[in-house]
C-alpha cells in the first residue's frame, strides 16, 4: 500500500523515515468562520488542506513531503458578529503556531512551508516569520495559496480578479472539494459587495464584515461553477508545487 502524504495518516516510524529523508513539511493554517448563507464555517480549513494534499501528492514522487495537521483556528475577530466563528488573539496565535513548528522541528524535520488559507492571517504571519525562524532554527517559507496563484485565478473567475470571501472563487472550489457541503438552495442570497469597504490611502482600520456585508459574502457566489473550481484547484496546486521545487526558496 503506498504511503499517504498526510501526517495524520502515517505511523510514527513512517514520519521518522520522512524526516530522515529530508522531507518538506507543508503546514496548512486556516480559520473557522462564517462563510455566508451557503457555505460551512470550515471552508478555509477544508480548502487549505485540500490544496496542500493535492500539491504534496503531485510532487511526492520526486521530493519527500508531508502535510501536517491543519491549524484550523486563526485571526477572525472581524467575523465574530455573525456567529459560528472561532478566533485567537494575536499572542495566542503566535504561541500555538510556534508550538506546532517546535514539534515539527523536534522530530527532525528541517524545512516547513506554511500555507495559509485565510486572509485575516496574512499580516500576522508576515510579522511572526522572523521570530519563528529565529526561535525554531527551521527553514520556514510562508505563503497564502490563493494569493500565490492569483495571476492564474484572475484568468478563471468571471467577476473577480482574486479570491474574496464566500465568493465565486471559494464557492467554486467547494463545489469540487466538498460539494455536499454547499447549500445550493441558498445561492440566490449568496452575494455582497464586490470589495471590502475602501479606506483612505495609508490609513488602517479594523471593522466587522457585518458593517459592509449583511450576507457575510464579499463577491457573488451565484457565478460559481465546478468547472471553475477544477481549474482553480489545479492552479493553486501548481503554485505550491513551484515553491516546493524552488532552489531559491530553500537556499
Fold of 7-250: Rossmann fold (3.40.50)
Alpha-carbon span 126 to 106, nearest angstrom: 23
Alpha-carbon span 222 to 158, nearest angstrom: 11
| Residue 31 confidence class, pLDDT cut points 50, 70, 90 | very high
Mean model confidence pLDDT for the chain: 95
**Cell numbers for 23:** 522531507
Q: Give 122-148 pLDDT, tens digit per residue.
A: 999 999 999 999 999 999 999 999 999
> Can you give the pLDDT at residue 200?
65
Residue 82 in this model has a pLDDT that exceeds 60: yes
User: Structure pTM?
Assistant: 0.96
CB 210 within 8 A of CB 204: no
9: exposed, middle or buried (C-beta count within 10 Å: 0-12, 13-18, 19+)? exposed
Amino acid at each position: 500500500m503506498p504511503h499517504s502524504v498526510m501526517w495524520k495518516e502515517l505511523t510514527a516510524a513512517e514520519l521518522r523515515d520522512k524526516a530522515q529523508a529530508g522531507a518538506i513539511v507543508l503546514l496548512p493554517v486556516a480559520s473557522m468562520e462564517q462563510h455566508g448563507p451557503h457555505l460551512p464555517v470550515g471552508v478555509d480549513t477544508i480548502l487549505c488542506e485540500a490544496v496542500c494534499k493535492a500539491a504534496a501528492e503531485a510532487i511526492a514522487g520526486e521530493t519527500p513531503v508531508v502535510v501536517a495537521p491543519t491549524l484550523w483556528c486563526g485571526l477572525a475577530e472581524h467575523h465574530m458578529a455573525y456567529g459560528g466563528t472561532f478566533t485567537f488573539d494575536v499572542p495566542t496565535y503566535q504561541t500555538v503556531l510556534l508550538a506546532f513548528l517546535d514539534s515539527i522541528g523536534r522530530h527532525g524535520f528541517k524545512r516547513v512551508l506554511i500555507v495559509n488559507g485565510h486572509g485575516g492571517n496574512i499580516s500576522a504571519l508576515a510579522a511572526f516569520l522572523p521570530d519563528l525562524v529565529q526561535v525554531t532554527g527551521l527553514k520556514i517559507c510562508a505563503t497564502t495559496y490563493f494569493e500565490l496563484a492569483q495571476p492564474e485565478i484572475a484568468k478563471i473567475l468571471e467577476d473577480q480578479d482574486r479570491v474574496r470571501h464566500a465568493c465565486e472563487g471559494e464557492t467554486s472550489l467547494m463545489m469540487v472539494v466538498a460539494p455536499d457541503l454547499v447549500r445550493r438552495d441558498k445561492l440566490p442570497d449568496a452575494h455582497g459587495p464586490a470589495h471590502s469597504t475602501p479606506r483612505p490611502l495609508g490609513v488602517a482600520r479594523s471593522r466587522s464584515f457585518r458593517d459592509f456585508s449583511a450576507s457575510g459574502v464579499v463577491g457573488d457566489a451565484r457565478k460559481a461553477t465546478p468547472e471553475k473550481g477544477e481549474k482553480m484547484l489545479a492552479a493553486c496546486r501548481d503554485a505550491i508545487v513551484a515553491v516546493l521545487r524552488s532552489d531559491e526558496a530553500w537556499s
